[in-house]
């Protein structure tokens, strides 16, 4: 039997590795792609996501919006091709505030977004306007860009379940959610039909000769093997740094732990057709007098009496009959070493549900006794400015597809399409330089980093 070889070995079968395999084999016709993972595909971080997407991304520049628009274009193509097997919708992200002073900021953000290619701004200051709500299902024929709504009657008419003191809404339209697992499995099946081999095992070495990749060492149930290959893609998710070290390349990322809670909205407080809703004001959690006193006495819990950061968000999950709501609140993030299984704040569900009552007061029904709920999550693997890495590494034949942070489900198609262009030696899109590792070597980029601003994380 001849030595085992491949044109490309991809380490990691999360959404990044699966998308890379798909774009290489199916869309670029690269033969002999091997996908290696020590776990079942899509099972480490890629099945923990809130599965939402948006082209609503901040600058500097328009690279992030351009990559994300490309990624969403590709997901829409896949949705058409698969009869929307992954249930992509286009309900939008609805940012809401009770602070009138935030409204000029909403308008400015939407104007800036329009200049970045997110789509046009429509202002709705009176009830007679042409605000068009999103349909519950489907993604075709919908507006792009942003609606900013400040007319109280319009707000109440379309979103009667939001807090009564809501004075402004920013509805970003090329946004929604989908089943990440179904999308990943669809791409994996197409990739396997196009010849991609999935191998169970751990990549524990990358062999080089004369400064270029010649093989990947894999250990697994069947023992150790070396796959001879001229190209190696590091798509190892939270382990991208460790796998980078197999090549003596330092990948500049860190991990943050993030969770989400799924809870039963048994009293149907939130209509099933609602969009993703994000409260952009800081929040004070509602507590009874007794609870206040108790919290005040416990040093580790006293902070829960203070103002908590803006950004609590949530949305309905599942089809028509599902009672599930998802809630997310990034109120506490610290860089940490990824450790599995991941442990979460035991109070996370209660804090998020209480926080969401500020946005959707009807959820107070669940405060005295929390509904049935489930908390899970994983790590956001991030670069310092929260922009992913897709492109070549300093070792010839080595590439990275990582740092996908909290937006890897939505960006993986765009990022993998870009990577496939490098590997298949196709012309690169104009946003390519913004996602290369060697951007950090540019003094101009380092200067930009020092004054970066909004990272786009919710
Ligand atoms: C709570 C939460 C909410 C999120 N919400 C969203 C959202 O709404 N929208 C969105 O777009 N994104 C979201 N994300 C982010 C998204 O889930 C991630 O960006 C994405 O899953 C990362 O995919 P990945 O393939 O890079 O990593 P992973 O899915 O972690 O896959 C990496 C794979 O590499 C394998 N591996 C690592 N080292 C080796 C090795 N040495 N040998 C073999 N295999 C190896 C691992 O076993 C793993 O299977 C969320 C994430 C979290 C945690």
Taking the alpha carbons at both ends of the chain, their separation in whole angstroms is 52
Residue 158 alpha carbon to ligand 1 centre in Å: 35
State which residues of the chain have pLDDT below 50: 1
Nearest ligand 1 atom to the CA of 408 is: 19
Other CB atoms within 10 A of residue 294 CB: 12
Residue 194, pLDDT score? 98
- C-alpha 122/C-alpha 54 separation (Å) is 18
Q: Of 177, 188, 187, 176, which Cα lies nearest the Cα of 78? A: 187
413 phi, psi to nearest 5 deg: -65, -45
User: Cβ distance 236 to 374 under 8 Å?
Assistant: no
* Ligand 1 probe mutation, 45, 191, 241, most atoms within 8 A of CB: 45
* Ligand 1 atom with minimal separation from the 18 CA: 25
- Distance of alpha carbon 184 from the chain centroid: 14
- Token output for 221: 């149930």
Q: Write the CB contacts of 392 (distance below 8 Å, at least 6 apart in sequence).
A: 398, 399, 422, 436, 437
Q: Which residue is closest in CA terms to ligand 1's atom 15?
A: 406
Which pLDDT does position 2 carry in this prediction? 61
Whole-number Å distance, alpha carbon 161 to ligand 1 midpoint, is 34
Check: CB of residue 172 under 8 Å from CB of residue 93. yes
Beta carbons within 8 Å of 252's beta carbon, 6+ residues apart: 383, 384, 437, 440
Among protein residues, the one with the nearest Cα to ligand 1's atom 20 is 408
Distances in Å between the Cα of 276 and the Cα atoms of 40, 90, 252, 340, 416 are: 30, 10, 31, 29, 26
Q: Which atom of ligand 1 is nearest to the CA of 43?
A: 49
Q: What is the pLDDT of residue 210?
A: 96
Nearest CA to ligand 1 atom 16: 408
Of the residues 404, 413, 415, 457, which should be mutated to test ligand 1's pocket, given the most ligand atoms within 8 Å of the CB?
404
- At 170, list the tokens: 């920013």
Determine the distance separating the centroid of ligand 1 and the alpha carbon of 149, expressed in angstroms: 35
What does R_g of the chain's alpha carbons equal in angstroms? 23
pLDDT tens track for 300-357: 899 999 999 999 999 999 987 899 999 999 998 899 999 999 999 999 999 999 999 9
Token pair listed for 355? 């926080």
The residues pairing with 260 across neighbouring beta strands, listed in sequence order, are: 376
Task: List, chain by chain if needed, residues with CB within 6 Å of any ligand 1 atom.
Answer: 11-17, 36-39, 44-46, 48-53, 202-203, 235-239, 243, 258-260, 377-378, 380, 402, 404-410
Residue having the nearest C-alpha atom to atom 18 of ligand 1:
408
Ligand 1 pocket check: which of 225, 390, 409 to mutate, most ligand atoms within 8 Å of Cβ? 409
CA 237 / ligand 1 centre spacing (Å): 5
**In whole angstroms, what is the distance from residue 52 CA to residue 89 CA?**
9
What are the b/e assignments for 133-166, b being 16+ CB within 10 Å?
A: ebebebbeebbbbbbbbbbeebbeebbeebbeeb
Kind of pairing, strands 389-392 and 398-402?
A: antiparallel
* Cα 451 to ligand 1 centroid, rounded to whole Å: 28
Pocket test for ligand 1, best of 9, 44, 56, 374 (most atoms within 8 A of CB): 44
| 257 Cα nearest atom in ligand 1 | 53
Atom of ligand 1 nearest to the CA of 41: 49
**Residue of 275, 81, 47 lying closest to 182 (CA atoms):** 47
Residues contacting 43, CB < 8 A, separation 6+: none
Question: Does pTM top 0.85 for this prediction?
Answer: yes
What is the rounded CA–CA span in Å between residue 132 and residue 139?
Answer: 14
Rounded to the nearest angstrom, the distance between the alpha carbon of 82 and the centre of ligand 1 is: 23
Classify residue 89 as left (phi > 0), alpha (psi -120 to 50) or beta.
Answer: beta
Here the tokens at position 112 are: 């800036």
For ligand 1, atom 51, name the residue with the nearest CA.
49
């Amino acid at each position: 039997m001849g030595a085992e070889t491949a044109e490309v070995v991809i380490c990691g079968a999360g959404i990044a590795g699966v998308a890379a395999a798909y774009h290489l084999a199916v869309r670029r016709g690269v033969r002999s792609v091997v996908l290696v993972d020590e776990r079942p595909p899509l099972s480490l971080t890629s099945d923990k996501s809130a599965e939402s997407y948006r082209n609503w991304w901040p600058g500097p520049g328009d690279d992030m919006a351009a990559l994300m628009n490309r990624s969403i274009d590709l997901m829409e193509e896949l949705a058409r091709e698969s009869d929307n097997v992954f249930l992509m919708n286009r309900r939008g992200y609805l940012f809401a505030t009770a602070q009138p002073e935030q409204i000029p900021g909403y308008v400015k953000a939407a104007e800036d977004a329009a200049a970045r290619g997110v789509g046009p701004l429509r202002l709705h200051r009176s009830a007679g306007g042409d605000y068009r709500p999103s349909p519950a299902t489907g993604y075709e024929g919908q507006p792009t860009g942003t609606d900013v709504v400040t007319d109280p009657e319009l707000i109440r008419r379309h979103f009667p379940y939001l807090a009564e003191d809501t004075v402004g809404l920013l509805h970003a339209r090329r946004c929604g959610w989908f089943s990440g697992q179904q999308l990943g499995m669809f791409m994996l099946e197409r990739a396997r039909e196009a010849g991609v081999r999935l191998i169970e095992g751990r990549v524990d070495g990358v062999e080089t000769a004369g400064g270029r990749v010649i093989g990947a060492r894999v250990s697994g149930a069947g023992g150790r093997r070396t796959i001879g290959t001229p190209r190696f893609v590091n798509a190892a998710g939270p382990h991208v740094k460790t796998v980078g070290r197999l090549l003596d390349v330092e990948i500049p990322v860190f991990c943050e732990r993030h969770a989400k809670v799924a809870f039963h909205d048994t009293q149907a407080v939130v209509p099933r057709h609602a969009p993703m809703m994000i409260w952009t004001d800081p929040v004070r959690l509602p507590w009874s007098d007794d609870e206040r006193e108790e919290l005040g006495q416990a040093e580790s819990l006293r902070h829960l009496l203070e103002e908590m950061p803006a950004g609590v968000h949530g949305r309905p999950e599942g089809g028509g009959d599902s009672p599930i709501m998802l809630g997310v609140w990034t109120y506490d993030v610290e860089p940490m070493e990824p450790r599995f299984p991941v442990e979460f704040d035991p109070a996370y569900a209660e804090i998020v549900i209480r926080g969401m009552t500020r946005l959707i007061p009807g959820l107070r029904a669940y405060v005295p006794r929390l509904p049935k709920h489930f908390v899970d999550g994983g790590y956001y693997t991030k670069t310092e400015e929260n922009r992913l890495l897709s492109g070549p590494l300093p070792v010839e034949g080595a590439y990275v597809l990582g740092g996908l942070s909290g937006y890897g489900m939505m960006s993986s198609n765009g990022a993998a399409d870009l990577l496939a262009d490098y590997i298949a030696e196709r012309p690169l899109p104009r946003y390519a330089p913004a996602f290369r590792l060697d951007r950090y070597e540019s003094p101009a980029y380092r200067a930009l980093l020092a004054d970066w601003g909004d990272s786009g994380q919710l």
